[in-house]
Amino acid sequence: MTGKALKNAFHKKSAGKKGEIQLFQAFIDAFNSLGANALAKEYHGNKYQVIFDEMRGAGRPTPRCELCDVMIIQYPNGHANAARVTFNQAKVTKNDLGCSPSKAAVVPDSFGANLEQWDLLSNRPTVRNATTTFYPPSNLLSDAILPSVGTFGVFYPLGSSFDFAYYVACGLRPLSNNPGRTGTLQWLAPMNLISRRAGYDEITGTCCLEAFGDALEHGLVGTPVWPLLYGPRGSRPMQQWLRDVLLSLAQENPDSSLPDELLNGLELISIEGERDHLLRDNAPSTPRAVILVKTPREPPLLNRRPA
């Protein structure tokens, strides 16, 4: 249901578009077309948001780049404590990354990307703020249970419009890990493969937006949010940061119930009085875009927080 709706909406909204910015905005609009079950908001922020110690073995010792293009939070109806989150970087390619029967086998998809961004989302180091307006928790990526906390989404041509392929960042490899920032990333694994780690399932890649939407609906995209907040290495900064992001969305979108459902389900606040606090202070540091999605399916039992 979610996959087909996203596919149809994006097919219409991406027709005649070109370039990464226009396609990304069509992607945001496609989620907003889902009605009350989705909320997508694009912000305008600094290109450089985080600093980290390189882990790819090449390039600058302390790269800086944006955290991601979009933070996507999905949760099943009635079970906001089972929310998943991924930090996704959008790219565009002229290469055909479309679905075919051969996608069950290993197919070497490739696209151009920033290798420092790949290092960040693939190796998931601790992060530090690169500006005075963005203060993410240092363990935002490093303490995630699942690798799909860091992902890439690639727009590719399909007839007169575009489609969207999704890749978990650690499954991509640079063709040449050169000292420069730009290069080509290659995917050398089957698509639509489900793997399990620490009792949670995730999908490692999808070849089209319909498959991506279906994976969202089944709770297979992103890492569980609850352990980042309250697990063995859960942190107060993570709770505060996510709370402020959700409060900002609630304040700016009073007709949407999604931010409040997540705030309550994740036990982040007693909502009364908090919005007044937010109005007095500076706006919270947010990713460049945020998407909240409520899907109709209940989460698998293993993916739920114990009662």
Task: For residue 120, tell me if it sits in a domain.
Answer: yes
Q: Note the pLDDT tens digit of each residue in 197-212.
A: 999 999 999 989 999 9
Task: For residue 305, tell me if it sits in a domain.
Answer: no
Task: For residue 301, tell me if it sits in a domain.
Answer: no
Task: For residue 134, tell me if it sits in a domain.
Answer: yes
Task: For residue 304, tell me if it sits in a domain.
Answer: no
The total number of structural domains that make up the chain = 1
- Percent of the chain at pLDDT exceeding 70: 87
Write out the residue range of the structural domain in which residue 231 sits: 2-296
The pLDDT value recorded for residue 104 is 52
Task: For residue 112, tell me if it sits in a domain.
Answer: yes
3-state secondary structure the chain: CHHHHHHHHHHHHHCCCCCHHHHHHHHHHHHHCCHHHEEEEECCCCCCCEECCCCCCCCCCCCEECCCCEEEEEEECCCHHHCEEEEEEEEECCCCCCCCHHHHCCCCEEEEEEHHHHHHHHHCCCCEECCCCCCCCCCCCCCCCCHHHEEEEEEEEECCEEEEEEEEHHHEEECCCCCCCEEEEEECCCCCCEEEECCEEEECEECCHHHHHHHHHCCCCCEEHHHHHHCCCCCHHHHHHHHHHHHHHHHHCCCCCHHHHHHHHCCCCCCCCHHHHHHHCCCCCCCCEEEEEEECCCCCHHHCCCC
Task: For residue 117, tell me if it sits in a domain.
Answer: yes
pLDDT category at 299 given cuts 50, 70, 90 is low
Q: Note the pLDDT tens digit of each residue in 157-204.
A: 988 889 999 999 999 999 999 898 999 999 988 888 899 999 999 999
pTM higher than 0.75 for the full model? yes
